[in-house]
Chain A
């Protein structure tokens, strides 16, 4: 039984991750379903003393979606996506930022696809620049880097673990390293594998964090299988059976390794690997109840930030408290719900 994930010699890919100065773009899925996860990115950047911004000040936000869901849902032209993303890049440049960090892995792939398009389609940059001027008087300005926010946490994983974290991924009672299944978003490591930390087969972005914080990584047969989010599959209700089937396939495959938690870097995976566990239980009769956390939620919990007030674990379908008990993280259960019926 293989439990440690390491790339064969020579296969580990590296990636240039900028040190500072990040323009953060938000995620529609995180914002709607795991709102604390997204805000935690900004809290972690602040903790690390990084210079960052989002688009505009609060009352006058210039933030928009990247069009990712609509684009992969096939109701948005590529040219419209190029323009919407170019507008965000223009705002970033205007605010003095050259490094785009996306909260969402589909945004990461969308921004990266735009960069690739400019490289492979001669003259496209000039056309988009002209269209952007016509649309909103802005100019196309190509960013220096496009990275995902999990890249930044990966880069600073040792500093976070050694200088800031109060807890480690270790069972308090026994000293056993906790077994954590990583689930890397497809649009982080598969669409442009050369742009991820470690590539599609041996992606390091989450396993690197798990090891740095004392946990044990877990390999299992369906580790690289998609969570089944699938845009039109999960969001058009009659199609959601596909999503559930993918989640169930992964849960059945990882279950023999008795993971203590699933760690994600993708908004959709974080939602469906967690929330479909209830339907999976109803359907299969098997209770999995594997807590599913994003990398920022895990950072927040290990830092000792309030599980309910700051991290927002109450947004999860599978209760996270059993994992907190294993680690020894204190929590006040009365904070979970505002209403009495909890």
Chain B
């Protein structure tokens, strides 16, 4: 894992969460992943020293019928402090690259080959794309019912179908480089009314996947946001077995939810616990932690389906872009997350 970095060291600094990304680079891949897991699994008392800072010690009152939390070592007591940090993102970069090298697999190879093929080949061969379209009678019902077409004046989903059916590589490349490819809200309002029963949301999602594999998403503001998406949803899945973690929806980044929401968020853990949810504890409902065995199985499923080919490609592209712009990968992450 460390062969790309001959200067790598196995010495792990004791204040990893405070480190800038550049300071994490010299740490060997194995050591970085091991340090993350060690910090994640430490209980609160142990973690005060090495990780620095104060823990949120607001202990929620548990309902009478709630099982006690599992032992801290099994359920990542410090995940709340690691989520969404530069340290976690750097760990994920290294870990998913190592997983891809180690696991490989049929679908990962398929996606790595597919990105070198023409877009027209993708439309004929990708599992979702080839089931999405059955011609078009140009009735325009997809556009007339589309909430995104109403909001974004330049967006016309019928044009996407027309482009996909054109078999014109140049038009397809232009579409994959466009802003408009990213406007669909994936609601499916178009689907029940299409006379040809086309699956436009599936087609668009498939084309977005291809745009990222080929790097064409870098040509649009909305496309570049996918690097933030990969770490938000991908990071949650990889580390917490959910797409959305309850700590992602903090009041500060959701000012549009109003002051009452901020009040709720200020006591979110006891509020979740009182109704039977499981904020960062063992359980079946909101905020639950899963044991390592479950996380391992989920990761193997994600890897087995070829997704790591995309995640690692996004990392390579983001690093190249950051270098081109003369900024760090974390500065690039912040830029694409707030751009638009």
Q: Which A residues are within 8 Å of any B CB, using their own CB?
A: 24, 26, 28-33, 35-36, 38-39, 42-43, 54-56, 58-65, 67-84, 86-87, 109, 117, 120-121, 124, 131-132, 134-136, 186-187, 189-191, 193, 199-201, 224-226, 228-233, 235-242, 244-246, 249, 275-276, 278-279, 308-312, 314-317, 319, 337-339, 341-342
Give the interface residue-count category, chain B.
Answer: 35 or more
Residues of A near B297 (CB, < 8 A) are 62, 64, 87, 135-136
> Is B333 an interface residue when CB atoms closer than 8 A count as contact?
no
Q: Which residue of A lies closest to B260 (CB)?
A: A317
Q: Which residue of A lies closest to B253 (CB)?
A: A237
How many whole Å from A228's CB to the nearest CB in chain B?
Answer: 6
Contact A79 B226 (CB under 8 A): no
Contact B67 A278 (CB under 8 A): no
Contact of B275 among A35, A135, A199, A237 (CB under 8 A): A35
Contact B275 A226 (CB under 8 A): no
Contact A237 B241 (CB under 8 A): no
Q: A28-B236, A32-B249, A58-B282 are in contact. List 14 more A-B contacts (CB 8 A).
A: A28-B244, A31-B246, A33-B246, A61-B289, A61-B294, A84-B302, A135-B297, A136-B296, A226-B189, A228-B147, A229-B187, A231-B186, A236-B229, A237-B253
Which residues in chain B, 289-340, are within 8 Å of chain A measured between CB atoms? 289-291, 293-294, 296-298, 300-307, 309-311, 314, 337-340
Contact B283 A339 (CB under 8 A): no
Contact B310 A32 (CB under 8 A): no
For A74, A242, A246, A337, the residue with the greatest tally of chain B CB atoms inside 10 Å of its CB is: A74
Contact B107 A77 (CB under 8 A): yes
Residues of A near B246 (CB, < 8 A) are 31-33, 35
Contact A82 B233 (CB under 8 A): no
How many whole Å from B240's CB to the nearest CB in chain A?
Answer: 9
> Is B261 an interface residue when CB atoms closer than 8 A count as contact?
yes
Contact B271 A228 (CB under 8 A): no
Residues of A near B67 (CB, < 8 A) are 58-59
* Bound Cα distance from A32 to B288, whole angstroms: 10
Contact A135 B300 (CB under 8 A): yes
Given A78-B128, A226-B147, A279-B256 contact (CB < 8 Å): yes
Contact B277 A239 (CB under 8 A): no
Contact A75 B286 (CB under 8 A): no
Contact A31 B128 (CB under 8 A): no
Q: Which B residues are within 8 Å of any A CB, using their own CB?
A: 67, 70, 74, 105-107, 111, 127-128, 131, 147-148, 150-152, 182, 185-189, 191-193, 201, 205, 208-209, 212, 222, 225-226, 228-230, 232-234, 236-237, 241-246, 248-249, 253-254, 256-261, 263-264, 266-267, 270-272, 274-278, 282-291, 293-294, 296-298, 300-307, 309-311, 314, 337-340
Q: Main secondary structure on chain B at its contact with chain A?
A: helix
Contact of A69 among B233, B303, B304, B305 (CB under 8 A): B233
* Bound Cα distance from A244 to B337, whole angstroms: 19
* Bound Cα distance from A29 to B248, whole angstroms: 11
Would you give 14 A-B contacts (Cβ < 8 Å), ordered by A? Answer: A39-B285, A58-B283, A74-B226, A77-B310, A84-B305, A109-B188, A131-B305, A134-B304, A191-B201, A226-B185, A230-B187, A245-B151, A279-B256, A310-B276
3 A-B pairs closest in CB distance = A31-B286, A80-B305, A278-B258
Contact B245 A32 (CB under 8 A): yes
Given A61-B288, A245-B151, A121-B127 contact (CB < 8 Å): yes
Given A75-B233, A77-B306, A32-B256 contact (CB < 8 Å): no
Contact B222 A239 (CB under 8 A): yes
Contact A59 B291 (CB under 8 A): yes
* Bound Cα distance from A316 to B271, whole angstroms: 12
Contact A238 B338 (CB under 8 A): yes
Residues of A near B271 (CB, < 8 A) are 35, 312, 314-315, 338
Given A62-B290, A80-B307, A32-B248 contact (CB < 8 Å): yes
Residues of A near B150 (CB, < 8 A) are 249
Residues of A near B192 (CB, < 8 A) are 189-190, 193, 199-201
Contact B241 A63 (CB under 8 A): yes
Given A59-B67, A317-B261, A191-B191 contact (CB < 8 Å): yes
Residues of B near A31 (CB, < 8 A) are 242, 244, 246, 277, 285-288
Contact A275 B257 (CB under 8 A): yes
Contact A77 B209 (CB under 8 A): yes
Residues of A near B212 (CB, < 8 A) are 74-75
Contact B277 A242 (CB under 8 A): no
Residues of A near B70 (CB, < 8 A) are 59-60
Residues of B near A134 (CB, < 8 A) are 105, 304
Given A64-B242, A87-B301, A275-B258, A38-B277 contact (CB < 8 Å): yes
* Bound Cα distance from A121 to B130, whole angstroms: 10
* Bound Cα distance from A101 to B288, whole angstroms: 19
* Bound Cα distance from A28 to B277, whole angstroms: 12
Contact of B243 among A65, A276, A309 (CB under 8 A): A65
* Bound Cα distance from A70 to B298, whole angstroms: 14
* Bound Cα distance from A64 to B302, whole angstroms: 12
Residues of A near B127 (CB, < 8 A) are 78-79, 117, 121, 124
How many whole Å from B160's CB to the nearest CB in chain A?
Answer: 14
Contact of B151 among A35, A246, A278 (CB under 8 A): A246
* Bound Cα distance from A75 to B191, whole angstroms: 22
